[in-house]
């Protein structure tokens, strides 16, 4: 990283370095998406800037599409972290707090079912059932165990991890489900959808042999947001459930926000949206122009404000020198 950029990022603009930063702030470099030669030049310029920054400091290169995927993964990781924190409360026998934390964590896992495997939600529900049982809520524990087993009938009770005293209650819930008459689902989804039932790939539009209770369905269609639905299966019945597909506009919205960061007076909401690409405290937004110059914006991703905007010819080195 050039001395000029380090100065602009930390000192010369009157900023106070964040404690998380080293002597020079880390930067996420992103090219404004588009099509045609200018888009290719923008990407090439961003690559060169990243290479130059990476030689002396820390730089991350990302684009709008990858940023959307990273945000999805980040939400899933936050859900996992919430489960881990709730389990720690349970391990510490802070059962009342654990019940509430596990309820919230289970909802977070359910919301991210499209990005998680089939194991995590049922296991979190078992932990919730244990917490409820330790709180003296036997009916709540049994119902929660049942919900976990509906989603994953082969899930065994782990007496090494959970109190053996609650194993009989879990066994009763399992025995009652095994006696229950099964039902099925008729799934209506787009032809190009990958459909998952309780986290496992659907074998076809008709799913039979399902335990009675609430099941979770996800349809994944390219270019669309995952469709998530709950379906109540009843004994000896087939329940029809329709999974729609909503077009995923997040990449386009993020691209528009990045372009707005280069405007003379960008709206605050657009700047905040542009900061979502950031893996670092700073974002450097670049757009190559047909006349050979480039539009450049340096954004503080923490404060969500633009620090510098410039138009510059001469390539990556000239841009870094100007900053």
Strand, coil or helix: what is 216? strand
Residues 6+ apart with CB under 8 A from 304: 268, 271, 272, 275
Q: How far is CA 291 from CA 41, 150, 262, 288, 298, in A?
A: 11, 62, 17, 8, 21
> Is the Cβ–Cβ distance between 87 and 162 less than 8 Å?
no
Q: Considering the entire predicted model, what is its pTM?
A: 0.75
> What is the pLDDT, as a whole number, of residue 287?
92
> What is the pLDDT, as a whole number, of residue 85?
98
Best-predicted range by mean pLDDT (112-126, 149-163, 243-257, 299-313): 149-163
User: What integer best gives the mean pLDDT of the chain?
Assistant: 87
> What is the pLDDT, as a whole number, of residue 11?
35
- Structural domains in the chain? 3-62+251-322 (3.40.50), 70-179 (1.25.40.10), 181-247 (2.60.40.10)
> What is the pLDDT, as a whole number, of residue 57?
60
- Which residues lie across from 312 on neighbouring strands? 294
pLDDT tens-digit map of 56-94: 567 888 888 888 888 888 899 999 999 999 999 999 999
């Amino acid at each position: 990283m050039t001395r000029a950029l380090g100065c602009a990022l930390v000192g010369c603009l009157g900023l106070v370095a964040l404690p998380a930063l080293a002597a020079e702030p880390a930067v996420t470099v992103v090219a404004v998406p588009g099509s045609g030669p200018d888009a290719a030049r923008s990407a090439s310029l961003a690559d060169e800037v990243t290479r130059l920054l990476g030689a002396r400091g820390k730089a991350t290169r990302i684009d709008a599409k990858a940023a959307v995927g990273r945000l999805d993964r980040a939400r899933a990781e936050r859900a996992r972290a919430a489960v881990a924190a709730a389990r720690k409360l349970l391990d510490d026998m802070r059962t009342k707090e654990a019940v509430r934390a596990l309820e919230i964590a289970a909802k977070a896992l359910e919301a991210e079912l499209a990005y998680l495997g089939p194991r995590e939600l049922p296991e979190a529900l078992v932990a919730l059932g244990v917490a409820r049982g330790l709180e003296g809520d036997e009916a709540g524990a049994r119902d929660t165990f049942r919900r976990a087993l509906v989603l994953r009938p082969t899930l065994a009770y782990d007496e090494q991890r959970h109190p053996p005293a609650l194993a009989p209650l879990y066994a009763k819930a399992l025995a009652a489900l095994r006696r229950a008459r099964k039902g099925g689902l008729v799934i209506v989804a787009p032809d190009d959808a990958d459909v998952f039932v309780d986290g496992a790939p659907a074998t076809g539009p008709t799913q039979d042999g399902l335990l009675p209770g609430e099941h979770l369905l996800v349809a994944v269609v390219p270019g669309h947001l995952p469709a998530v639905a709950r379906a109540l299966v009843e004994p000896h019945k087939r329940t029809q459930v329709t999974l729609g597909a909503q077009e995923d506009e997040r990449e386009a919205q993020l691209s528009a926000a990045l372009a707005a960061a280069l405007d003379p007076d960008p709206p605050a909401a657009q700047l905040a949206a542009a900061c979502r690409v950031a893996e670092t405290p700073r974002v450097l937004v670049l757009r190559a122009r047909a006349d050979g110059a480039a539009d450049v914006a340096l954004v503080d991703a923490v404060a969500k404000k633009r620090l510098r905007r410039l138009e510059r010819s001469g390539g990556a080195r000239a841009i870094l020198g100007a900053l």
